[in-house]
Amino acid sequence: MLLEEQRFIHEDLERLEQGIADRVAWEPRNVREKLARDHQIAEFLNRIEQQSKRLLEIYKDEEGLREKEIQAISTGDPFEEFYKRLEEIKDFHRRYPNEPVENLERAYRRRNPGEGEVVGAELETMFTGEEAYGQFLDLTQIHEEYLNLPGVKRLTYLQYLDTFDVFTPPQMPIKRTNKLSDKYFAYVTNLASYLESFIKRVRPLEDLDKLFASFDEEFEKQWAVNEVPGWVEEKATNESQGPKTEGTGEGIWCADCEKEFKNENVYRNHLTGKKHIRAAEARKNINDSLSTSVGATPAVSSVANRLKERAVAEREHRIRSLANALKSERQATRVNVERKQGMTERERQMELEALFAETEPTAGGRRDEESDEEGEEKIYNPLKLPLAWDGKPIPYWLYKLHGLGVEFPCEICGNFVYMGRRAFDKHFSEARHIYGLRCLGITSQTNLFREITKIDDAIRLWEKLEQDKKKEREARENVVQMEDAEGNVMPERIYLDLQKQGIL
């Protein structure tokens, strides 16, 4: 039945192409639907590739079966051949009576959620909650592995996001000899594997095999000319002084301590220090253990050591290249982590609820028709926008126009936060703010305290106003001058007081 298989594959290819065209023309509403669409298209492309290979095998007909089948149909009795094939079909259905028939038209047609297909259902297990459907990286477990490495800096998660692809001092203080340990090799392997897995899940339609091949080619070129950062082959004239290319190229490099010295006298004193002696002994022990494990001469041990360095360097280069390819996701992850650190637990819970409400499909392809009939219309408001006069959320452009997302706290009102400039300007004449001023002893001229929200600023202004009133009152009293019999000039108030006392 090669001809029937050939016809089926041609139909399958046409249906797949139509399914891809339908999905490309469809505009997804959010990131989840877009990612689900891309993964479906990637699956269809893989099936097209498989079916095309099988179709080419049929056309090549290396065994001659297709030619025999065509000859049997064209040269023999057509009715005899027809009934023969009909009997084969009936015999197949007698043996497998419940065998389902694949409907290609329905198999690749894009269906709405109400028609039995949940868009992006496979994404629920593909991404973690921290990744938010491929928007952010989730390096929390890798960060824990990094903190357990011996001799590393204690970095916070934010600091780690900035430096996880840096493997040279001073950001990565691990010595070169310690990088050959199994623990460090497992760390860089897990980090590279995660980044590869993430980019495959986020970009299913890109030619990632070609991208990974370019990474390998670039590493091979750098390794051949001995230019891989942090892994330049040592060609020192003595056992301690290493290549100057490991540092800045201006001083003397100590290969045991992996440190550069710009002053020769300081370097000589360093060679007699306890820290350098311990580092040199540790390095010698590692080389001796490698030589013993290999069971060969020091030259063979050096080759084995270099091969292990190559494996670690290749993974570090892969991490650097993948981090550069995921630059936008990395920056978005850092912003998201900073934002979440400033949120309360209630705000995080509200954000999760809004995310689930945005990605949850509406059952039956209808927008809560049952609720409309019962008079209990469900309001879709994931952004928590203010409600308008009709009870529905205001448009988002109006929300941004009036700056309702900007917070204005007022310390005088008990640290109450006003949303938007309009509400903030209005509250200075409201009872809450006036009551707060009275509690501070400010009972008059409240209109002078507009735009003042700090308690200290309000108290200082009130004290200054009181001092100005006192000076003004004193100046007003000192306007009229009186003169006594002896010719002494004084204010009228003091003259009257002295006169009452009989002093004058």
Q: What average pLDDT values come out for the chain (504 residues) when binned by 10 residues? A: 83 86 83 84 89 89 82 76 83 80 68 51 75 87 89 86 83 74 90 92 89 90 84 52 45 69 76 79 65 51 76 90 91 87 74 62 43 52 74 78 82 88 87 88 84 90 89 73 79 83 78
CA–CA separation, 241 vs 267, rounded Å? 10
Strand pairing partners for 353? none
CA–CA separation, 112 vs 495, rounded Å? 98
Termini Cα distance of the chain: 139
Pair 256, 240: CB distance under 8 Å: yes
Pair 32, 120: CB distance under 8 Å: yes
The one-letter amino acid at 399: Y
- Sign of the Cα pseudo-torsion (74, 76, 80, 85, in order): negative
CA atoms within 13 A on the CB side of 166: 13
pLDDT of residue 387: 78
Identify the residue whose tokens are 């002084």.
241
From edge to edge, which strands make up the β-sheet containing 252-254?
241-242, 252-254, 259-261
Pair 274, 282: CB distance under 8 Å: no
DSSP letters along 373-416, please?
HHT-PPP--TT-PPB-TTSSBPPHHHHHHTTTT-EEEETTTTSE
Token pair listed for 387: 């409600």
Size (the chain), residues: 504
CA–CA separation, 262 vs 356, rounded Å? 58
pLDDT of residue 12: 86
Pair 30, 359: CB distance under 8 Å: yes
Pair 396, 403: CB distance under 8 Å: no
Pairing of β 489-491 and β 481-483? antiparallel
Query: Residue 120: CB partners within 8 Å, gap ≥ 6?
Result: 32, 33, 35, 36, 359
In terms of DSSP H, where are the helices of 225-326? 264-271, 274-294, 298-325
